[in-house]
Amino acid sequence: ASLPIHSLALCLCLIHVIGANLFEEQPVDTIYPEESPEAKITMNCRARANPPATYKWRLDSRDIDMDADDHYSFVGGNLVISNPVKNKHVGMYSCVATNDYGAIISREASVQFGYLDFFSSEERQSVRVKEGQGAVLLCAPPPHYPAELSFRWMLNEFPIFIQLDKRRFVSQTTGNLYISKVDASDSGNYSCFVSSPSISKSVFSKFIPLVPLAERPIKKYPADLKVTFPDTTALVGQNITLECFALGNPIPVIRWRKLDGQLPSTHELGMSGAHLHLNNVQFEDAGTYQCEAMNSKGKDYHSARVSVEAYPEWVDHINSTEKAIDSDYTMSCVASGKPKPYVRWLKNGTVVMFKLINLYYSGMYQCIAENHHGVIYANAELRVIACAPTFEHNPVKRVLGAKNSRVVIKCQPKAAPKPSFSWSKGTELLSNSTRMFIWEDGSLEILNVTLADEGRYTCFAKNDRGKANSTGSLSITEATKITLAPSNADVTVGESARMQCAASHDSSLDITFIWSLDGHVIDLHKDRQHYERTPNGSSNGELLIKNTQLKHAGRYSCTAQTPLDNVTASAQLVVRGPPGPPGGLRVTDITDKSVRLQWSCGADNHSPISKYTIQYRDSFSKDVWKDATTSPEVIEGNVETATVVDLFPWTEYEFRVIATNTLGTGDPSTPSAEVLTLEAVPVVAPSDISGGGGTSRELTITWTPVQPQYYSGPNFGYIVAFKPHDGSEWWRVTVADPEARRYVHKNASISPSTEFEVKVKAFNSKGEGPFSHTAIIYSAQDAPSEAPTRVEGKALSATEAIVWWLPISHSHVDGYQVKYWKKQDDSEGGAHRVAVPGKGNHTRLEGMKPDSHYLIEIRAYNAAGYGPPSPHFQIYTKKAPPSQPPRIIGKKLKGHLVNIAWEHVEPLWNESSIDGYKVNIVLFLSHLKFCSLAKLFAYLRTIDLPVPREGDFVVEVRATSEGGDGAVAQIHITGNSHNPSCTLVA
């Protein structure tokens, strides 16, 4: 930066001082979208200066030649770049403001060009994944600037975006889509949708087909972290997000912890636990953070460090000022930040010291503090003055003093260089004594004043440029005294307390009362919920403390204050209440079912602690604190250690301690660090042992799994034991999945419906637990060995038929499957199937095609499978019913009757012949519908119907045939006793 431009200051005693922050507008970092419709960039600069400033701009520390580049122009102090060009106008810009008193330079601001290219047009490969496995779809965003992007994924078409949950996650770092376990519903085409908030542009990728592959049974997979966070540096006050997401089946649960302390109180979890948000980061939030992914098949961990640094910030900086000629002055700038900022000046060095200031030192000064996070600037003007003393703007004033108090009469003329001072009272010249002192700045101090000190006082000031004097007066008033002081008090939480205070004072002066607690002034308006001044005369300052809390205990001071003096009296308030939280909680002597706790007592708040309560929460109920079982069962108030018993092995616990006295229960201690109890052999067996059924030659065994809190150790699973009822040797099988609910034993030698005894127990890495009770189950039956006989049937219409058969009597049958298909063009694989349960021997077949030849097959089934099919039985469906409705040719009213007539329907060549006609009457009365039906012979073409007195009805006429009912014609009739009417509906 250039040196300041100096100027000679005038020898004036009234000089306008300009503030330290001389810039009202400075340039800011700018990202210009390459596709912006507004083809210009504006960099702002405006300084507060008198006389007004002139401006010039720099690019990368070099002056911009406005004449050499017609892209640049000025609007006031602002720099406008028209039709910016990337390779010419990218860089760091700063503004220099200059007037007669000097020059200052603005902060530097960058200009960059923002862009987001389109994705490649190449097709994306399909991703094929077995159901139950995890999947990762790569986004691979195109080239872009700046780095910050946001990501979403589309499914099949725009704008259908997938909903994120505990199973699906999109990393906002890479843009990749993660599915912890794939199921059939995930099938589809996926596209990565990328947005750049800086340039308001979005693009999306080619679709990626995801093909789930069916697998039965679906396998389980341990938690496997695929999204982790790196070592991260955050700035103080910044919000940051750490990401963790795992693949696995069952869907893993994500848990967070800070290894070297508690998670910050401002932390928040998002995206079903996959995001840890650290808000308003502070230095104490630095440390090692860990995410843990866990499911019943295993755990995975990741740890990384969060470091906290800070942008430069002024602790002390220069300010515009004026100094007398020949005086000394130190100009200082101190900045905080991490890493520690480097401070530089327009004149080199961190502190500028002036000895015997002269007019040459007038001018503009800047100091600059920077680290790799940023730069801050401080600007100031120094003006040097020289003039004879003058009291024109600040004469010596009339002063009041309280009897026996200390009085100071100020003498503050304008003068440069600094003058010498002397004082007189009336005609008597004053000098320093035991009661009177003339300060270096010219003020006169008088101690223990009396009525004799009243009078007129004159201050004389002199320097090498001249001299001047000014006269004021001193008057003495009565001293203020406390007449009723507050007294010590003792209350219980929730009660009220009164602190008295009254004072005498000079009647010509106003008096106020100020209350403080332990040296801190009480804000009676802000704390009006608990504090109230009793209105009882101007000389009374009594304080009422309402609904007293523990925080209100301490030393209360009442200060009676007038404009001249003040006096203070104090008293102590003791507040008794429930105890404070215990401290120093430690966990020792950890076993499989117990731990030992040690703590130190907190404040008893003036009432002895009578007992302690220990609470715990575990990894299975993270948000619920429960009372622990302890030894001793009742923990007396003089005890600071106890053993927690009846814990679950191999379980993470946190503990806290709560103290109680006769006045109540206090706040809990800070929770202990998480501890893991030791492993142990399982003690809980699976329940609800059952089974049976299944395919032939199988023994199916089922149970209700053990809950995770009873695993008691890693590598948890089950041992299934079974034997024939009359056998002596047990077969044992190991099932390693802790969530398994069944085991199927296949053996060709197992006879159907054989009675077995079965039992199941749990095991882990420490050993085997107890067996469950023994249950009796039966092996699977054989599939039916006979085919149904005497299959018969007949067509009911063009689309329906009925079929019946002789049931099987010698095998266990759960039901029958009836399969039927069109012989001419349907393969047997496309057949319709109807299940008939239990002992049924007939069923109705629907959805058939008219005038068609169908084959029918029946087989019995049970849990073991299907038996042999019956021989094929043939049915021919009827021709289709008439497709044409009857044509209504007459609608005549005969009193209360209406006659409806129609023409005969002629069926087409492929339709059934007419058997007759159906007339259906639908009556609508008060929103209720009543139906009646008449069936007529084929030779009848007319019918008389009664007309209702009120309400509406519809007459429906259709032809009938062996193929079913034909198309319908409708007449709408409105009931009216005076004037019925008919309307043709169809």
- The pLDDT tens digits of the residues spanning 44-77 come to 999 988 888 899 999 998 999 988 888 999 999 9
8 A C-beta contact, residue 455 and residue 380? no
CA dihedral of 565, 571, 576, 582, whole degrees rounded to 10: 70
284: helix, strand or coil: helix
> Quick one: pLDDT at residue 936?
63
- The pLDDT tens digits of the residues spanning 295-319 come to 988 889 999 999 999 999 999 988 8
Across 299-303, 647-651, 808-812, least confident range: 808-812
Mean pLDDT of 508-535: 91
Where does the pLDDT of residue 893 fall: very low under 50, low under 70, confident under 90, or very high at 90 and above?
confident
> Quick one: pLDDT at residue 347?
56
> Quick one: pLDDT at residue 382?
84
Identify the bridge partners of residue 944 per DSSP, sorted by sequence position: 899
Where does the pLDDT of residue 615 fall: very low under 50, low under 70, confident under 90, or very high at 90 and above?
very high
Residue owning tokens 């003393």:
389
> Quick one: pLDDT at residue 282?
94
> Quick one: pLDDT at residue 4?
35
CA dihedral of 826, 829, 832, 833, whole degrees rounded to 10: 160
> Quick one: pLDDT at residue 920?
84
Hey, what are 655's tokens? 């503990």
Where does the pLDDT of residue 7 fall: very low under 50, low under 70, confident under 90, or very high at 90 and above?
very low
- The pLDDT tens digits of the residues spanning 421-437 come to 999 999 899 999 999 99
> Quick one: pLDDT at residue 878?
93
Where does the pLDDT of residue 1 fall: very low under 50, low under 70, confident under 90, or very high at 90 and above?
very low
Helices (H), 60-118: 86-89
> Quick one: pLDDT at residue 955?
84
8 A C-beta contact, residue 396 and residue 410? yes
Strand locations in 589-697 (E): 595-600, 609-618, 626-627, 629-631, 635-636, 641-645, 652-661, 664-665, 675-676, 687-691
* Cβ neighbours for 431, distance < 8 A, ≥ 6 positions apart: 438
Mean pLDDT of 342-346: 83
Across 55-59, 198-202, 355-359, 623-627, least confident range: 355-359
33: helix, strand or coil: strand
Distance CA 37, CA 27 (A): 22
What's phi and psi for 88, nearest 5 deg?
Answer: -110, -30
Distance CA 547, CA 931 (A): 78
* Cβ neighbours for 349, distance < 8 A, ≥ 6 positions apart: none
- The pLDDT tens digits of the residues spanning 817-848 come to 999 998 876 666 678 999 998 788 999 999 89
> Quick one: pLDDT at residue 5?
32
Give me the sign of the Cα torsion angle 86, 88, 90, 95. Answer: negative
Residue in 310, 316, 312, 313 with CA at minimum distance from that of residue 351: 316
Tell how many helices (H) and how many strands (E) occur in the chain: 1, 90
Distance CA 90, CA 31 (A): 10
Q: Using alpha carbons, list the distances in angstroms from residue 860 to 697, 810, 814, 855, 889.
A: 18, 12, 8, 17, 55
Residues above pLDDT 70, as percent of the chain: 93
> Quick one: pLDDT at residue 246?
96
Distance CA 172, CA 176 (A): 8
Mean pLDDT of 443-448: 95
> Quick one: pLDDT at residue 320?
83
* Cβ neighbours for 833, distance < 8 A, ≥ 6 positions apart: 817, 818, 819
Distance CA 837, CA 818 (A): 11
> Quick one: pLDDT at residue 951?
67
What is the residue-wise DSSP string for 401-463?
Answer: EETTS-EEE----EEESPPEEEEEETTEEE---SSEEE-TTS-EEESS--GGG-EEEEEEEEE
Could you give all domains of the chain from N- to C-terminal order, each with its CATH number? 19-114 (2.60.40.10), 317-384 (2.60.40.10), 387-476 (2.60.40.10), 481-576 (2.60.40.10), 583-677 (2.60.40.10), 687-779 (2.60.40.10), 789-877 (2.60.40.10), 888-974 (2.60.40.10)
Distance CA 907, CA 881 (A): 8
- DSSP single-letter state for residue 398: -
- Is the pLDDT score of 538 beyond 80? no
What's phi and psi for 206, nearest 5 deg?
Answer: -60, 155
> Quick one: pLDDT at residue 20?
34
- Is the pLDDT score of 256 beyond 90? yes
> Quick one: pLDDT at residue 828?
66
- Average pLDDT of the chain, as a whole number: 88
Residue in 174, 270, 264 with CA at minimum distance from that of residue 228: 174
If one compares 924 and 892, the residue with the highest pLDDT of the two is 892
> Quick one: pLDDT at residue 956?
87
Distance CA 592, CA 431 (A): 87
> Quick one: pLDDT at residue 762?
97
Residues above pLDDT 90, as percent of the chain: 64
- Is the pLDDT score of 18 beyond 60? no
Distance CA 430, CA 442 (A): 13
- The pLDDT tens digits of the residues spanning 266-282 come to 999 999 899 999 999 99
- Is the pLDDT score of 791 beyond 50? yes
Q: Using alpha carbons, list the distances in angstroms from residue 41 to 93, 112, 200, 527.
A: 12, 11, 17, 52
